[in-house]
Amino acid sequence: MEIDNIKFAMLGIYDKYKQGKISQEVAEYFVSHLDSVQRKNGVQNLSQVIYDYEHAEIGISFATVGKPYIFEEENSKLVRELFFMDQGEKYPIYLGDIIKLNKNVENRLEYFLEQGVYYPSVQAFHWGETDLENDKRRFRLLPMEELKKYRKYINDLINSRSVMKFGKDCPYHIEQKRFEAEMVEEWQKYMIKNQMAYRIDAYNLIGRNEAESEETSEIGDDERE
């Protein structure tokens, strides 16, 4: 049975736990999030939760005091945590790998994740020089730690989309890695087309710095030996 109703989803998760197909930790995580969103937001169906919050979104705050910082919109975070259990360096656990979700739910969730990669948005339908310059300035002022959040946010959305498409048991994650590379490439093409290549630079800068730090660490280890 394809599930959209939140109560049926919780029952389905509990049944998988009783069958020994998922751990108590995983079962409690998803049931608690489903119960919370049903009570606090007054919704009955999973599709309604995603529909209310059309896309994943982050923003950049410019406080009057202190440095600018990246933050995830609360509604965006709610949807992501409802469907995906974070596992740190591992791929997240997807609710749809535990119970069979309604196709409409999956389609909306796919759109939610894919669109989120292109945020934060430039607040104009027809972007002019002023809009782009302001956006470029935002990224230029972000400290390194906040740029790391930006890169991680994009990667988390792409990894979640990949898990949706190929499942958690794909051997060696070969298909996932190829799909993820394709999504990054499409994102880069969009950014270049819309004169926002500076976001690619921000994304790649973190990757380069992390790689350089690892190389420096390895050299230091070799010297100590």
State the average pLDDT over residues 37-60. Answer: 83
Task: Tell me the pLDDT of the chain averaged across its residues.
Answer: 84
pLDDT of 172 above 90? no
pLDDT single digits (tens) 59-79: 777 655 667 888 888 888 899
Q: Given this model, what pLDDT does residue 61 score? A: 74
Confidence of residue 170 (pLDDT cuts 50, 70, 90): low
pTM for this prediction:
0.84
pLDDT of residue 23: 96
Mean pLDDT computed over 13-35? 97
Distance CA 50, CA 32 (A): 18
Quick one: pLDDT at residue 84?
96
> Per residue in 79-129, pLDDT tens?
999 999 998 888 899 999 999 999 999 999 999 999 889 888 776 545 567
The pLDDT tens digits of the residues spanning 2-18 come to 999 999 999 999 999 99
pLDDT at position 220 over 60: no
Mean pLDDT for the stretch of residues 163-183: 82
Write out pLDDT tens, residues 202-219.
999 876 555 444 444 444
Whether the per-residue pLDDT at 225 is higher than 60: the answer is no
